[in-house]
């Protein structure tokens, strides 16, 4: 049996990854844990979770058009059809004849040129968009990834590592699959929501934090994922903190707890440790321990 818990925030900087890291030793103390960092565009959970990489696998997220010059009849149809202006007639070398070539930086991999080429001279070649890693942490299996800057298909990469993590988790009697989700509400978040049993939304008492909390709650509601809220840095603005509680009460969203602003979080990061390991008796660590207890009580993990 696998319970997949996804931690989201709707925005960057709310403390989602710090909170996820703080949960890791608490969960691992009671359950078999498999950990996923699904923020593939800017992965950073590995900075505070001690681990050793076991395998590194190329991620082939998309395809780019290539032209087989010996088969090309120079009809120019591909250049006319490409709305991304990725195909141009030019010389490959000085004093060489003109021929059609693909600018892979502009090619979007739509396959139209290959589909329409009358001489079947164009084919789609897989391109590497990043790496994904299978690692072993002190707390269990750990899957994370790196998407190359400017490359696409981050949602597909998220799906890949979660699929591998679930395969690992299935080998245990009762595993918790903890997913440190991406910020925002886009494709990577939707991919990270897939098969999630619980969503924990980390927010902060600011106007942007409240706005983005509501957006991600709309997203998890759409996918019918039971959702809970954690209020981080709760004591920085009491009026906005009260507003978070009011919004959650109106929507019947349980608030698992509040975490006070605590400079020890920064010190824990500097020492590359979850705060619940670095200072287990700090105010924020105690608050997170209560949040984990509340979640355990609520859903009987």
pLDDT, tens digit, for every residue of 174-213?
689 999 999 888 889 999 998 899 999 999 999 999 999 9
Query: CATH says 61-128 is which class?
Result: alpha beta
What is the average pLDDT score of the chain? 91
Q: Provide mean pLDDT across the span 145-171.
A: 89
| Structure token pair of residue 46 | 């590995």
- Domain 2-50+138-299's class? alpha beta
Asked whether the predicted pLDDT for residue 91 surpasses 90, the reply is no
| pLDDT for the residue 94 | 65
Q: Which residues of 69-87 are buried (b: 16+ CB within 10 A; e: fewer)?
A: eeebeeeebbeeebeeebb
pLDDT at 92: 64
The predicted pLDDT at position 169 comes to 87
201-to-12, 17, 138, 181, 233 alpha-carbon distances in Å:
12, 11, 26, 10, 14
Q: Where in the chain is the domain with CATH 3.30.70.20?
A: 61-128
Domain with CATH 3.40.50.300 in the chain: 2-50+138-299
Instruction: Indicate the burial class of 301 (C-beta count within 10 angstroms; 0-12, 13-18, 19 or more).
Output: middle
% of residues, the chain, pLDDT over 90: 74
The pLDDT assigned to 93 comes to 67
pTM of this prediction? 0.87
| More confident call, 242 vs 151 | 242
């Amino acid at each position: 049996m696998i319970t997949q818990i996804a931690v989201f925030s709707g925005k960057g900087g709310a403390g989602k990854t710090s909170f996820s890291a703080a949960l890791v030793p608490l969960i691992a103390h009671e359950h078999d844990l498999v950990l996923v960092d699904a923020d593939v565009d800017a992965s950073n959970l590995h900075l505070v979770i001690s681990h050793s990489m076991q395998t590194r696998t190329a991620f082939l997220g998309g395809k780019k058009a290539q032209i087989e010059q010996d088969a090309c009849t120079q009809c120019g149809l591909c250049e006319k059809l490409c709305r991304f202006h990725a195909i141009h007639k030019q010389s490959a070398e000085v004093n060489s004849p003109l021929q059609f070539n693909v600018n892979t930086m502009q090619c979007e991999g739509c396959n139209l040129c290959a589909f329409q080429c009358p001489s079947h001279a164009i084919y789609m070649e897989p391109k590497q968009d990043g790496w994904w890693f299978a690692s072993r942490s002190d707390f269990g299996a750990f899957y994370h990834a790196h998407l190359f800057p400017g490359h696409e298909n981050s949602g597909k990469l998220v799906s890949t590592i979660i699929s591998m993590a679930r395969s690992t988790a299935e080998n245990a009697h009762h595993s918790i699959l903890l997913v440190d989700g991406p910020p925002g509400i886009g494709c990577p978040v939707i991919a990270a929501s897939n098969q999630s049993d619980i969503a924990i939304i980390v927010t902060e008492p600011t106007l942007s934090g409240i706005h983005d909390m509501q957006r991600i709650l709309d997203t998890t509601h759409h996918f019918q994922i039971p959702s809970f809220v954690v209020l981080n840095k709760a004591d920085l603005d009491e009026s906005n903190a009260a507003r978070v509680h009011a919004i959650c009460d109106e929507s019947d969203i349980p608030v698992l707890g509040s975490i006070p602003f605590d400079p020890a979080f920064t010190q824990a990061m500097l020492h590359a440790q979850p705060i619940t390991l670095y200072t287990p008796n700090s105010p924020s660590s105690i608050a997170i321990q209560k949040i984990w207890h509340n979640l355990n009580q609520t859903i009987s993990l």
